Amino acid sequence: MSVITETRSTCCYCGVGCGVLISASGNQITGVRGDPDHPANFGRLCSKGSQLHLTSTPLIQAHRRLHTPMLRQHRNETLQHADWNTVTALMASRIVSTVRQYGPDSIGFYVSGQLLTEDYYLFNKLARGLIGTNQIDSNSRLCMSSAVAGYKQSLGSDAPPCNYEDLDCADLVLIIGANPAYAHPVLYRRLEAARHKRPQMKVVVVDPRRTDSAQDADLHLAIKPGTDVALLNGLLHICLWEGWIRQDWIDAHTTGFTELRNSVRSYTPEYTASVCGVKPEDLHQLAEWFYKAPASLSLYCQGLNQSSSGTAKNSALINLHLITAQIGRPGTGPFSLTGQPNAMGGRETGSMSTLLCGHRDIQNPADRAEVAAAWGIDTLPDQAGSTAVDMFEAVRNGRIRILWIVCTNPAQSLPAQAQVRAALEAAELVIVQEAFADTATCRYADILLPAASWGEKEGTVTNSERRISRVRAAISPPGMAKPDWWIASQIGQAIQQHFPLKKNLKLSYEGPQQIWNEHRELTRGQDLDITGLSYAMLEQHPQQWPCPTGQTSGKPRLYTDFRFQHADGKARLIETPYQSAQDKVTPRTPFILSTGRIRDQWHGMSRTGANNAAFSHQPQPFLEMHPADMQSRLLQDGDMVHISNQRGQQYWRIIGNPALRPGLLWLPMHWGEEYVWGYEDGQTAYGVNTLVSPALDPQSRQPELKYTTVSLRKQEFP
Ligand code: SF4
């Protein structure tokens, strides 16, 4: 009889980062329960986390897992099984010859917030240090880059100042552009418990949909999609007009007040209400609560970030915290929630094309020199690489010739799918490193690399509150599957043979701890300094950064001395003029299409889609519409509709939902091409993101996944 073991690890879904205890017998995961000692969840798990064993065990997923490397010499051939030596030699040869012929920027890496920090660090080193390119970007670009840009320009550092304890002691919680009841469920349960204990706590939700989070709120402002900046400027205007500001604090700790005050003069309650489609008295109530509450906290996520003005939305919200001095104290602060389990780890290791490891700056020669010296090489590339959407455009037009995709599914998740698919077709070599063999992106692979999955690999992740937790292996990966860091290391070493000038670049490691130790050293003296931590300390207790040498635990809250990370210690009040979304509502495209999450599915469903129980909440794909809009178009629940715009056309089953604003259509983000009815030519059915706008925020380069205009008509079938 097999012994049942229990292994402490971390959930692989959302950015709450709940601790789990994995039960395993033999080489099968048999159960999961919440870790009662983990400070992110204290034993709680949501429906996704509590069913991890149903989606991650090799027994259930065996037929979908990649067990061996696979390759083909030509696109029209079928992929054949191969061994690691063969694919390693082939990849090294193709990458080296392409770099020699077309330069380092002809190689692109598209990585993922699902990777562990150690994986992220090594891919970053491989791209920038060995190949010599900044063409490495993460799918975190789709969820967090506006939050990064907003924190950096306003507070001087990409560092969320808050922690989960702030939910327990806030007096006002403003949830804007987020639905934590579905997207961060364990955190939302904590908020519910705090409200129960402290009935004086107020919760306000700003969202075009009356979500489950909005349903429970004291006040819900159902704004017109995309008007968040106007709303936040309107709140600033009211605070200034009413004297609900902390002038002494502003003078001591910020710059830019006069310019900001002048910039919001025109955002009167009446004007703002007309732009945002809300009541002036609700704006007034929110401004008053926000200022007068002893502690005001804001929680935000993709509704602010996934926008062509995502950075402005982030900074406008931070402005509100700064003029009311609602920051740096328990229960206060602008708290950006991360979507993926290790979006934060990617930011720490600099695994986006515009960042450098340890929160350093690519544009800063001293920062580049410091990293190059630590890595034993002469220089690092100084030009920022392509960001996610731009990277696929660079592939499509031939500037990037080899694309190495790691642990993500861009053939489902990126906007404007027809262009993404065209890029994958156009690439000279597509390498896909994946646990599962059947994602939409795998179909375009010339080389498939079998990766270990959750429950099979070791390392660390960092959650929304800057807390680093250990991820541990409970079982071994199937067949020849390997941890992502191992794959980067092996293929990197094979490439290195051809670049003698890079011989001192360390790419061989005993294991993830050695990689993490190197990453840790590169944080020394930086705002995220973790030189006081070790794997041994993290085994005992997950810790927040920063935790410099000499400290025994991390810092729970930032800016408690009101010194910000800009050189003068002051935060910046940023002018954020409102600009409408890039897609326009017209008589031909009168509906705004927005995407979001349903409760029990995760991203593209490569894991949760294998769990039948996950479909019991929402069994089928659907498109939501307000009942008044349905009535005006003679539609009933269950009717098929045809939606289209310049990017494509699709069919969806429509259902009415009075929780939407009229004029808004809402589509869960999870459905891939296998769930979508498109035209028979196969060009238009690429899943939810076919029609979605690729418009980008000019600073963060994050795409506008929440605002796409479409036409809609009823589809009659013979
Ligand atoms: Fe996992 Fe997030 Fe659910 Fe926690 S809240 S169990 S991290 S999905």
Q: Which domains does the chain have, with CATH numbers?
A: 4-64 (3.30.200.210), 86-140+349-465+478-537 (3.40.50.740), 145-337 (3.40.228.10), 591-714 (2.40.40.20)
Q: Which atom of ligand 1 approaches the CA of 13 most closely? A: 8
CA gap 157, 136 in Å, rounded: 21
Query: In sequence order, which residues have a C-beta less than 8 Å from that of residue 178 and are 6 or more positions away?
Result: 184, 207, 213, 299, 300, 301, 302, 303, 304, 337
Report the candidate in 61, 10, 36 with the shortest Cα–Cα distance to residue 473: 10
Residue of 46, 54, 167, 605 to test ligand 1 pocket, by largest number of atoms within 8 Å of CB: 46
DSSP annotation of 553? S
Query: In sequence order, which residues have a C-beta less than 8 Å from that of residue 73 and are 6 or more positions away?
Result: none
pLDDT value of position 681: 52
Task: Count the alpha carbons within 13 Å of 583 in the hemisphere toward its beta carbon.
Answer: 30
Residue of 12, 16, 190 to test ligand 1 pocket, by largest number of atoms within 8 Å of CB: 16
Report the candidate in 670, 671, 703, 662 with the shortest Cα–Cα distance to residue 225: 662
Tell me the CA–centroid distance for residue 701 and ligand 1, in Å: 28
Residues of the chain with pLDDT under 50: 682
CA gap 646, 392 in Å, rounded: 19
CA gap 417, 692 in Å, rounded: 8
The answer to whether the CB of 69 falls within 8 A of the CB of 82 is yes
Tell me the CA–centroid distance for residue 349 and ligand 1, in Å: 23
Residue 22 phi, psi dihedral angles, 5° rounding: -95, 125
Whole-model pTM above 0.90? yes
The answer to whether the CB of 595 falls within 8 A of the CB of 668 is yes
The answer to whether the CB of 441 falls within 8 A of the CB of 407 is no
Which residue lies with its CA nearest to atom 4 of ligand 1?
A: 18
Residue of 12, 38, 41 to test ligand 1 pocket, by largest number of atoms within 8 Å of CB: 41
Buried b (16+ CB within 10 A) or exposed e, 146-172: bbbbbbbbbbbbbbbbbbbbbbbbbbb
Tell me the CA–centroid distance for residue 339 and ligand 1, in Å: 10
Tell me the CA–centroid distance for residue 251 and ligand 1, in Å: 41
Residue 17 phi, psi dihedral angles, 5° rounding: 75, 50
- What's the distance, CA 372 to chain centroid? 28
**DSSP percent split of the chain into helix, strand, coil, nearest 5:** 35, 20, 45
Complex prediction ipTM: 1.00
Tell me the CA–centroid distance for residue 348 and ligand 1, in Å: 21
Ligand 1 pocket residues where CB is under 6 Å: 11, 13-14, 16-18, 41, 45-46, 48-49, 184-186
Convert 312-333 into a string of H (helix), E (strand) and C (coil): HHHHHHHHHHHHCCCCCCCCCE
The SS3 assignment for 9 reads strand
186-235: pLDDT as tens digits: 999 999 999 999 999 999 999 999 999 999 999 999 999 999 999 999 99
Which residue stretches of 198-268 are H helix? 212-215, 228-242, 247-253, 257-263
Q: Which atom of ligand 1 approaches the CA of 49 most closely? A: 6
Buried b (16+ CB within 10 A) or exposed e, 100-134: eebebbbbbbbbbbbbbbbbbbbbbbbbbbbbbbb
Instruction: Point out which residues pair with 625 in neighbouring strands.
Output: 656, 665
Which residue lies with its CA nearest to atom 1 of ligand 1?
A: 49
Which residue lies with its CA nearest to atom 5 of ligand 1?
A: 186
Which residue lies with its CA nearest to atom 6 of ligand 1?
A: 49
pLDDT value of position 685: 66
Report the candidate in 415, 405, 463 with the shortest Cα–Cα distance to residue 436: 405
The SS3 assignment for 528 reads coil
Which tokens go with 46? 């949501």
Query: In sequence order, which residues have a C-beta less than 8 Å from that of residue 485 and are 6 or more positions away?
Result: 116, 118, 119, 122, 459, 509, 512, 515
CA gap 709, 691 in Å, rounded: 9
Q: Which atom of ligand 1 approaches the CA of 50 most closely? A: 6
Q: Which atom of ligand 1 approaches the CA of 10 most closely? A: 7
Quote the crossing angle between the two packed helices 484-496 and 84-102, to the nearest 10°.
60
Query: In sequence order, which residues have a C-beta less than 8 Å from that of residue 478 and are 6 or more positions away?
Result: 58, 62, 65, 67
The owner of tokens 């006040």 is 219
pLDDT value of position 669: 81
Residue 601 phi, psi dihedral angles, 5° rounding: -110, 155
Q: Is the alpha carbon torsion for 152, 333, 159, 20 positive or negative?
A: negative
Q: What angle do CA 595, 601, 607 make, to 5 degrees?
A: 125
- From residue 449, give the alpha-carbon distance in Å to each of 69, 80, 85, 140, 582: 5, 12, 12, 22, 38
Which residue lies with its CA nearest to atom 3 of ligand 1?
A: 46
Tell me the CA–centroid distance for residue 17 and ligand 1, in Å: 6
